Amino acid sequence: MHQLLLRFTRLIGAVGFAVGGLGCHTAVQTPADSSPQALSTLSTTEPTTPIVASVEAVKAVDALVDPPTGWVEDPRRIDAKHAHVVWKSPTGDTAYGVVLMHLPFPVGPDLVLAGFLNHLRETDHEAQLLTKQAAPDLPGYRFTAESGQYVLRVDLTVRGWRAWAVYAGSLREKPANMAELRQAERARDHTRVGLPAESAFAE
């Protein structure tokens, strides 16, 4: 299971390289079936760790993050094009992560989302957009995507030359642990990125 989650980390961490190579592949279609039945089945396992978490500033992704208590951070992946931090649950079945992508030029959320999905197809042989909702408050999209191995529930924020993908992810091969997934989604929803007054880059 650890190896699967490590591959998950590498898969999402590499998304930052995809935006610059979009070319003409920018079409994104929202599937007709975006009902809850289209999503992976959730289990009703009770939480094994508290939902209380501590907020911390992570300069690498210019974000205030809120990892659940007891979750373990994997080694950070940082280079000139992207930075990725991820925490995994005690079972190793669920992850909460933040990816900061440095764009080659300012683009809209549709191009960034297309790059995200194109990269999933290249690295995990499959990418299906299950749901997509415009989110002016981010600004960007809230979407759910399924790859060959993972189900990703993502808040995508695009601002000028940078974009953030904040996600709650689970393995596709088994029913998601609903208790852990709730914690990951709570952490995702509490994450704040690129705020001028509270930026992790601020002195």
DSSP-derived pairing of the beta strands 140-147 and 72-73:
unpaired
Measure the CA–CA gap between 175 and 93, rounded to whole angstroms.
Answer: 10
pLDDT for res 202 = 55
DSSP per-residue string spanning 48-114: SS-S-B--EEEGGGTEEE-PBTT-EEPPPEE-SSEEEEEEE-TTSSEEEEEEEEE-SS---HHHHHH
Which of these, 169, 114, 107, 115, lies nearest to 139 by C-alpha position?
A: 107
DSSP per-residue string spanning 110-174: HHHHHHHHHHHHHHHS-EEEEEEEEETTTTEEEEEEEESSEEEEEEEEEETTEEEEEEEEEETTS
What are the pLDDT digits (tens) for 107-129?
999 999 998 899 888 888 889 99
Q: What is the pTM of this model?
A: 0.75
pLDDT for res 144 = 97
pLDDT tens for each residue of the chain, 203 residues long: 444 444 544 545 445 544 444 333 333 333 334 333 333 333 333 343 343 446 889 989 999 999 999 999 999 898 888 899 999 999 999 999 999 999 999 999 999 999 889 988 888 888 999 999 999 999 999 999 998 888 999 999 999 999 999 999 999 989 999 999 999 999 999 999 997 766 666 54
